[in-house]
Homo-oligomer: A and B are copies of this chain.
Amino acid sequence: MAQLQANWIWYPGDFEVWLHWHVSLRRQERGVTLPPVWRLDRPFSSVTFRKLFELEKDENINIGVEGEYDLVVDGQRLYTGRDKLCLGPGRHEIIISVFSETVVPAIWVQGQSLVSDNSWKVRAYYGLDATQGQNLDDSDNWRNAGSWNFTDPQYPPSQFRLPTTPLAPLSTKPLDNGWLVDFGRETFGYVQLHGLKGAGEVKFYYGETIEEALSIENCETLDTCLLNEAHAPDYTLPVARAFRYIYCVIGGQIRFDRVSALYEYLPLPEPASFKCSDERLNEIWTTAEYTLRLNTREFMLDGIKRDRWVWSGDAIQSFLMNYYSFFDAPVVRRTLLALRGKDPIATHLNLIMDYSFYWFIGFYDYYLYTGDLTFITENYKQMYTLLEFCLNRRNGNGLMEKKSGDWVFIDWGEMDNEGEVSFEQILLCRSLEIMAMFAKLNGFATDAARFDDLATGLREQIINLFWDSQAGGLAHNRRAGKLSHHITRYPNIFALLFGYLNKTQLAEVKQKVLLNPAVQPITTPYMRFYELAALCETGQHSFVLEEIKAYWGGMLDLGATTFWEEYKPEATGAEHYSMYGRPFGKSLCHAWGASPIYLLGKYFLGVVPLTPGFETYQVAPNLGGLNWLSGSVPMPAGKLEIYVDKQEVRLKTPAKGGLLYLRSAQFPYCEPGQFRPVGFGAYELPLNEANTQYRITYKALE
């Protein structure tokens, strides 16, 4: 029997909470650290691990622990020899109580048949059922241990650091009493000085643009490095920063030969790909992938320069982009756990009402794309308590309405978010639907029925209260029972995406809201994400492609090497870089800027899971006016590869269960396989063969 591999294990979520604590506190503004405005939770400082097991023969067991610990084997406390046990055949029980003030209490146990893994139980006396105390007994306190990929006893969780690789700048030019260094594109890492001589001070002014690096007074991030004579010839700054340009200013007699960086990154799976007949689109896809890559780190961050915080609204978009690029499931799980933090829940996630609801949607998408029900089950109680928190904050009409301390965000744009905001009711309704589904999957019939009922009632209420039949869309909000008649894109987009509109309403929303330039436009890639998805849902593929080329292409025209937090085409010059009242306040490498990855993968390559984990899925490629497109889309079993032009489709899938959908002016021919007609000019091909090259000839119907 091959030896089983032990993993460092901990209380579920605690490594993520610990890492989140550290990552969240890396935000610096001109040398001052800004802690997040929400509560920052920490791992439990004292937990108990337990394992009941049976050995067939003598086994030598090595034990590694992060923290101090008390070890009880078969009811006996051990005072010595606690890192190596030898146990004989039969039933045994190991109990390890671990505590630490700073690291995550964690253990690593390696025997031959006994190894530390998720089957170990761990207890922290943590009342997730505090709202339902009557149900809580000791068995509720024992959870399955959490783990990741820490198999090396010498590399415990507290040692976790992202890897780095050397990165040379594109150019280094003298400027005043220093150097201007250009890395050619936005990047992230630790600056290094080489060939240092003498003593003195070097100041580093970082810029996502050259303007920012040269703005000593206003650049967002800076570092100072003070060295006396007793330094090594090379020096690495201790904190990683985002930059394309660095202006290094020298004070004193210090000199150095050159500046480079250690690029810091999360190792990611080989990404999906996208190519098409439009070079501008290809460049957009590549830039989007790079933008997402830079923001996909310990967690899905919002942006790499400024906050470096984990925001629920930003994260769920990153998740979707991730499913169409790296398909890295662990970063999704880490991010969801970090966002939730610990109980008691006293505020919405990130203090934002919308962001609590997005978190549920993040779980739904995770389940849909990965099919990982275990993760849902393990975290059902955490979802339940957050949903209860939200439900308890409804007003007398059963609707979400902001209370003091709540932030109703939706988007950066002019809007009145007082009173009952339709957008928030739609998100609550979707959260209820998702939780009803998860309750069913876990066999919690009472919960399922309750959430189903609440969702059904709320769906009706949303239309009854907010549908403005004159305007042909959902109004933005109601104050004191009075409808505002202000139509915004947000609730209409989401009602459309969630299927809350009937056919008539859908048609009205499309014409009178989505395609109506009189309705206040969206200025962030954040909400453009959903807007363009909604337009694709209504078949506006060509229109969407043009929009992508204009909006994201507009940033490229301005020299963007990664996509931005906000883009207003009408701005000029350095105006583009200002936000939050600061000249370089805007993040120019913002995860939500990378949404073309998702749009192109889902709506143009057309690959969508129909049931969790792609057990069944659809491939409905759409050229959107392009001559050809090709690429790959990840699935749990591997990547689906597809090429599409107006006469031919070539496809190879790693898993059965797919359904290729084509619109064709002639009956498509396939080898292997057989199309069937499904309506006028529409044909379907069941993809019953994995890892087989499908070659289809057809005649595209635009």
User: Contact residues of A with B, CB < 8 Å?
Assistant: 21, 25, 29-40, 42, 44-46, 68, 70, 77-79, 97-99, 101-102, 124-128, 130-134, 136-139, 141, 343-347, 351, 388-389, 392-394, 403-405
CA distance A139 to B346 in the complex (A): 12
CA distance A32 to B70 in the complex (A): 7
A133 touches B388 (CB 8 A): yes
Give the residue of B29, B46, B128 whose beta carbon is less than 8 angstroms from that of A35: B46
CA distance A97 to B343 in the complex (A): 21
Contacts A32-B77, A134-B392 known; list 11 others, CB within 8 Å. Answer: A32-B79, A39-B124, A40-B99, A42-B45, A101-B102, A128-B344, A130-B389, A133-B392, A136-B393, A136-B403, A343-B343
A346 touches B130 (CB 8 A): yes
Chain B residue numbers with a CB within 8 Å of A35 are 46, 68, 70, 97-99
B70 touches A130 (CB 8 A): no
A436 shortest CB reach to chain B, Å: 20
A404 touches B137 (CB 8 A): yes
A138 shortest CB reach to chain B, Å: 3
- Given A70-B32, A393-B133, A393-B134, the answer on whether A127 and B403 have CB atoms closer than 8 Å is no
CA distance A79 to B218 in the complex (A): 12
Residue of B nearest to A342 (CB): B344
Chain B residue numbers with a CB within 8 Å of A99 are 25, 33, 35, 40
Q: 12 pairs across A/B with beta carbons < 8 Å?
A: A33-B70, A34-B70, A35-B98, A39-B46, A125-B347, A127-B344, A131-B131, A133-B388, A134-B393, A137-B404, A138-B405, A141-B347
A312 shortest CB reach to chain B, Å: 15
Residue of B nearest to A127 (CB): B346
Chain B residue numbers with a CB within 8 Å of A42 are 42, 45, 101
- Given A25-B99, A33-B70, the answer on whether A39 and B126 have CB atoms closer than 8 Å is yes
Among A77, A79, A125, A351, find the residue whose CB has the most chain B CB atoms closer than 10 A.
A125
CA distance A44 to B36 in the complex (A): 13
CA distance A37 to B47 in the complex (A): 9
B138 touches A403 (CB 8 A): yes
CA distance A33 to B36 in the complex (A): 35
- Given A45-B42, A343-B343, A388-B133, the answer on whether A77 and B29 have CB atoms closer than 8 Å is yes
CA distance A347 to B101 in the complex (A): 22
* Leading 4 A-B pairs by shortest Cβ distance: A138-B405, A127-B346, A133-B392, A130-B344
A544 shortest CB reach to chain B, Å: 40
Chain B residue numbers with a CB within 8 Å of A133 are 388-389, 392-393
Residue of B nearest to A99 (CB): B35
B46 touches A405 (CB 8 A): no
Chain B residue numbers with a CB within 8 Å of A138 are 403-405
Give the residue of B44, B98, B346, B394 whose beta carbon is less than 8 angstroms from that of A126: B346
Chain B residue numbers with a CB within 8 Å of A347 are 125, 127, 141
CA distance A419 to B612 in the complex (A): 46
A329 shortest CB reach to chain B, Å: 29
B403 touches A345 (CB 8 A): no
Chain B residue numbers with a CB within 8 Å of A394 are 134
CA distance A604 to B346 in the complex (A): 50
A652 shortest CB reach to chain B, Å: 50
Chain B residue numbers with a CB within 8 Å of A403 are 136-138
A343 touches B130 (CB 8 A): yes
A534 shortest CB reach to chain B, Å: 32
A460 shortest CB reach to chain B, Å: 23
- Given A77-B29, A346-B130, the answer on whether A141 and B36 have CB atoms closer than 8 Å is no
A81 shortest CB reach to chain B, Å: 12
A404 touches B139 (CB 8 A): yes
CA distance A394 to B25 in the complex (A): 43
Give the residue of B34, B46, B351, B389 whose beta carbon is less than 8 angstroms from that of A40: B46
Residue of B nearest to A71 (CB): B32
A125 touches B346 (CB 8 A): yes
Give the residue of B39, B45, B125, B389 whose beta carbon is less than 8 angstroms from that of A44: B39
- Given A137-B403, A141-B405, A346-B130, the answer on whether A21 and B45 have CB atoms closer than 8 Å is yes
CA distance A252 to B343 in the complex (A): 54
CA distance A547 to B159 in the complex (A): 61
B346 touches A141 (CB 8 A): yes
A79 touches B30 (CB 8 A): yes
CA distance A8 to B46 in the complex (A): 28
CA distance A30 to B80 in the complex (A): 10
B392 touches A39 (CB 8 A): no
- Given A39-B44, A70-B34, the answer on whether A130 and B79 have CB atoms closer than 8 Å is no
B134 touches A131 (CB 8 A): no
CA distance A404 to B32 in the complex (A): 49
Chain B residue numbers with a CB within 8 Å of A139 are 404
CA distance A393 to B140 in the complex (A): 14
CA distance A187 to B94 in the complex (A): 37
A495 shortest CB reach to chain B, Å: 27
A424 shortest CB reach to chain B, Å: 16
Chain B residue numbers with a CB within 8 Å of A29 are 77, 79
CA distance A40 to B134 in the complex (A): 23
Chain B residue numbers with a CB within 8 Å of A98 are 35
Give the residue of B25, B39, B344, B393 whose beta carbon is less than 8 angstroms from that of A344: B344
CA distance A309 to B326 in the complex (A): 50
Chain B residue numbers with a CB within 8 Å of A405 are 137-138, 141
CA distance A392 to B137 in the complex (A): 12
CA distance A139 to B403 in the complex (A): 10
CA distance A46 to B36 in the complex (A): 8
B130 touches A345 (CB 8 A): yes
CA distance A345 to B127 in the complex (A): 6
A384 shortest CB reach to chain B, Å: 13
Residue of B nearest to A136 (CB): B346
